[in-house]
Amino acid sequence: MDIYEIIQSLINKEIDLQLIEKEDEIYVRNRVIDLLGINDFVLKEPIKAEDYSVPDLLEKLIEYACEQKIIEELFYGREILSSKIMDCFMSKPSTINKIFYEKFETDPEAATNYFYELSKNNNYIQTKQIAKNINYKAPTEYGDLDITINLSKPEKNPKDIAREKLVKSTNYPKCLLCIENEGYAGKAGHPARSNHRIIRMNLMDEEWNFQYSPYAYYNEHCIVLASEHRDMKVDKNTFSRLLQFVEKFPHYFVGSNADLPIVGGSILSHDHYQGGRYEFAMAKAEEEYEFKLDKFKDVSFGIVKWPMSVIRIKAEDKSSIIEAADYILNYWREYSDPAAGIYAYTENAPHNTVTPIARKRKDVFELDIVLRNNRTSEEHPLGIFHPHEDVQHIKKENIGLIEVMGLAVLPARLKTELKEVERYILGVDNNIAEPHKPWADLLREKYKGKIDKDNTEEIVRKETAAKFLRVLEDAGVFKRNEEGMKYFKEFISSIS
């Protein structure tokens, strides 16, 4: 297959996927061959469209560009050219927004379907990379937890890292979530976004924006971000925006990371939310203890059966939920219970905040308020309500919104490390990492006489999920035992 066949095959593929029309063919072809330094074009019979995906064909074009020395064989160079090629197939943001809102007027689901398919077909959503992730479900007393070993983000080689150090730092775009990333060519250390498009929207009379995550962890994983570059903040306006979003898009959930270090997400420098079309185990979990607050007679409250400390608020009137959530948040921010190890402040440093998640079920709005505290101690320097040391060989990073809901995003190193654990418990030659050894010894003992080469992967996967469950329990401010539930109910009583 020569370069002409590859280019024509990609064009035909995108016509089939309705990313472009037949009338766009010559225009797109000329833009692509210009990027590849080709001066002519020999029209040939393309390969069968079903034989290769868009990412496959795009990869072949990038390989050609490397072979012809059009770009350097570096990650960022490949990424920039790939993004520029796909931008040749893209309409301007104004056109895409117009189509989105024409569809939205009659069916919000049709609008998101259109934008989601577009974001996949233009290779902004990295479907080929995402497919590399290891995913499975693990049954627990709280429902099926989702386990993901994240292999989607390509690894950089030493040349890439060295080149990043040479690039002059600028303040544009200010961060990876800024709206200025739309159409940005990219550079070493900052991803290419030429083919990136963003949907504008109004939330609480303020400019916000809607896009999909390029490395999605679940179905239709989207990001809702403020136009203004400002720090994350959870307050009454947050609850209002979340509920207004699910009112606009009732087939999606949306939530916010907490707004303090340790318990917050990876990017606290830009106000944003994450949502999508997926029902996590936490959303399916039932309320095990219901209560009322006299101030909010049309609102129902319950403690959710979940390893973390979750209050679920439900009502048909979203304004009632907003007032109730704001009342609980403000009370929690000032709440201390030394017996439970909860202190609202250390000197003047605040420790209490929440992770809120909104959804709509028919006519009823739901808002889950997950109580968080980011205090540290000598025994737990990374956080008292954070994965403790004995589970950090599996998960050491912050427990953000996605993990809170029951999806473990585990580091890529575990792909090989857990295979060595399997070999270790099976009793064959291995290179087990030292941090895993105490755990592996316990597994050897626990499954003594029950281990064989056919079930080791199943055992290690099951026990990895058990470790993640422990991670969530560590992050819970009120523990899942008799004493912890007593303290939780005391907090509820004090609110009342």
What percentage of the chain carries pLDDT values higher than 70?
Answer: 96
- List the beta bridge partners of residue 190: 187
- What digits encode the pLDDT tens for the residues 463-482? 999 999 999 999 999 999 99
Nearest CA among 233, 326, 242, 222 for reference residue 271: 233
Alpha helices in 88-233 (DSSP H): 93-106, 108-121, 127-130, 158-166
Angle of helix 93-106 relative to helix 108-121, nearest 10 degrees, comes to: 150
Tokens of 5: 């066949």
Radius of gyration of the chain (CA): 25
Q: What is the mean pLDDT of residues 275-300?
A: 97
Residue 156 pLDDT > 70: no
Asked, as a colleague might, if the bond just before 387 is cis with ω within 30 of 0, I would say no
Angstrom distance (rounded) from CA 72 to CA 76: 9
Report whether 244 contacts 252 (CB < 8 A): no
Three-state SS sequence of 44-104:
CCCCCHHHCCHHHHHHHHHHHHHHCCCCCCCHHHHHHHHHHHHHCCCCCHHHHHHHHHHHH
Nearest CA among 484, 103, 147 for reference residue 309: 484
CB atoms within 10 A of CB 206: 12
**Four-CA torsion 465, 466, 468, 473, nearest 10 degrees:** 150
Residue 169 pLDDT > 80: no
**What is the average pLDDT value for the chain, to the nearest integer?**
95
Q: Kindly tell me the sign of the dihedral angle through the C-alpha atoms of 436, 439, 443, 444.
A: positive
More confident residue, 274 or 157: 274
Per-residue pLDDT at 188: 87
Tokens of 353: 């905040």
- What digits encode the pLDDT tens for the residues 171-191? 899 999 999 999 999 998 899
CB atoms within 10 A of CB 466: 15
Report whether 147 contacts 136 (CB < 8 A): yes
